[in-house]
Amino acid sequence: MKKHLRLLAGLALLAFMAACSRNNGPVFQRPVISAAKTTDSLRIGQTLRLSPQLSQPLGAAFQWSVNGAPVGTDSVYTFEAKESGSYRITFRMSNAAGIDSLTYNIKVWGRYENGFFVLNEGWFGTETGSVHFYEYGTDTVRTWVYKHENPGKTLGGVMNTLQYGAVYNGKLYMVVKAGGPLVVADALTLKETGRIDKPAGGDAMTFVGIDNTRGLLSAGDGIYPLNLNTLGLGAKLGGITGTVGNMLKAGDYVFVHSAKDGMVVLDAVTFGVVQVPTKATIGFVQAKNGDVYAAKDSMLMSINPATLKLDSVKMPFKAAAPWGAWRSVSMAASAKEDNVYIIEPGKNWSYGTKLYRYAVGNAASLNEPFITLPDGQYFYGAGVAYDARTNELVITTINGPYSGSVNRVLFYNAATGALNKTVVYEGWYFPAMTVFHQ
């Protein structure tokens, strides 16, 4: 009987507590937020609807913020990619029992950020130079993108050749030789921001950035300092005469390739000549270990940018001097491994078909080609570049030993030499070089 009474009393107590609970309102539980995917990327103009999964939303309030700024109070939010950049989109849900939050990380790519540029000489005497763009993850090259973004503007005339370009501090510097301009464009939008119509008398060759305010422009008669803010050229540097091609800044020095003297080392602050180490035939690229590489006839040369100590290794071919119909250096270097790549020039002015790899410290790695192009293809322009983002060699070819209208961009694994992909497009473009974002 006592057990029965205790049971009845317990049931009554539970009923009383339930009644009290009903009288005091609902029992809240702490909210929980989840999402299957919290990172994504968009192009400018695209939208992304964010709809996280919600648990225990009873009595909840919602708050969305983008990079700390409040933007909404609904349970879902549509993000519009208006400007390039990285965005932290935070969703917060709270009720009487607690708070939970979730952050999405969204990358908005600039129109010309998620890929690389292909600069083209142009069809001499018929068509001007041009800029194409390859977007990662696609199988096409978008042609004439500079022209599309800058109606009415040109990269020189049909007798000039767009030969060199570099991205520096968010700007794409393009040098049109044989009488053409230096053109500067925003590297993300490709909108032109400035130009010098005929720098160095129209005989400019290449550009290298030095710091936030200074660059150098090489030319047929030496080197000129360039003010990056005003885009004004200073007086020609002393100590260097004749044609100067490629330039590379490494450490406290600038390495310049002179037709007269070969490799010339400049002080990166004063631009005074520090040393003339070797009569380089072509140059330069910088390897993963920091050394700067050039070629002197059949010797692959390296120089330490701190000590300026030289070293060399024998190649099974001779490098060809670029002077005359000048093109940028046909070399590349890996940022992941200590590998340097160099194209063997073709014979009798024809374009080459073989690329060699030097694994630093292993002379035997140069005994045979690392890559031989597929039949009917030939390197053109600089021909090879290294893509640090994908660890690939990006190679530009045409379909003839002297000329051709079938263009290909080939993507090779930089470690194994395996061909990953080929993108084909037609036109008399004559690719000068590929240019990557920093």
Domain boundaries, the chain: 32-109
Average the pLDDT over 50-56 and give the result: 91
pLDDT confidence bin for 431, thresholds 50/70/90: very high
At residue 2, the pLDDT reads 41
Q: In whole angstroms, what is the distance from residue 209 CA to residue 245 CA?
A: 15
Per-residue pLDDT for 21 more than 90? no
At residue 24, the pLDDT reads 55
Average the pLDDT over 248-273 and give the result: 97
pLDDT confidence bin for 20, thresholds 50/70/90: very low
Question: What CATH number labels 32-109?
Answer: 2.60.40.10
Per-residue pLDDT for 15 more than 60? no
CA distances from 167 to 99, 235, 236 (A): 45, 24, 23
Average the pLDDT over 189-215 and give the result: 96
Per-residue pLDDT for 102 more than 50? yes
pTM: 0.88
At residue 93, the pLDDT reads 95
Cβ(218)–Cβ(204) below 8 Å: yes
Other Cβ atoms within 10 Å of 137 Cβ, number: 7
Per-residue pLDDT for 236 more than 90? yes
At residue 382, the pLDDT reads 97
Q: Which helix (H) or strand (E) holds 10?
A: helix 2-24
Cβ(420)–Cβ(152) below 8 Å: no
- pLDDT, tens digit (0-9, with 9 covering 90-100), for 77-96: 999 999 999 999 999 999 98
pLDDT confidence bin for 9, thresholds 50/70/90: very low
At residue 25, the pLDDT reads 57
pLDDT confidence bin for 27, thresholds 50/70/90: low
Average the pLDDT over 10-26 and give the result: 44
Among the listed ranges 16-30, 157-171, 262-276, which one has the minimum average pLDDT value?
16-30
At residue 16, the pLDDT reads 37
At residue 381, the pLDDT reads 96
Per-residue pLDDT for 338 more than 50? yes
Cβ(99)–Cβ(86) below 8 Å: no
At residue 58, the pLDDT reads 78
21 three-state secondary structure = helix
Cβ(177)–Cβ(219) below 8 Å: no
At residue 26, the pLDDT reads 63
Per-residue pLDDT for 412 more than 60? yes
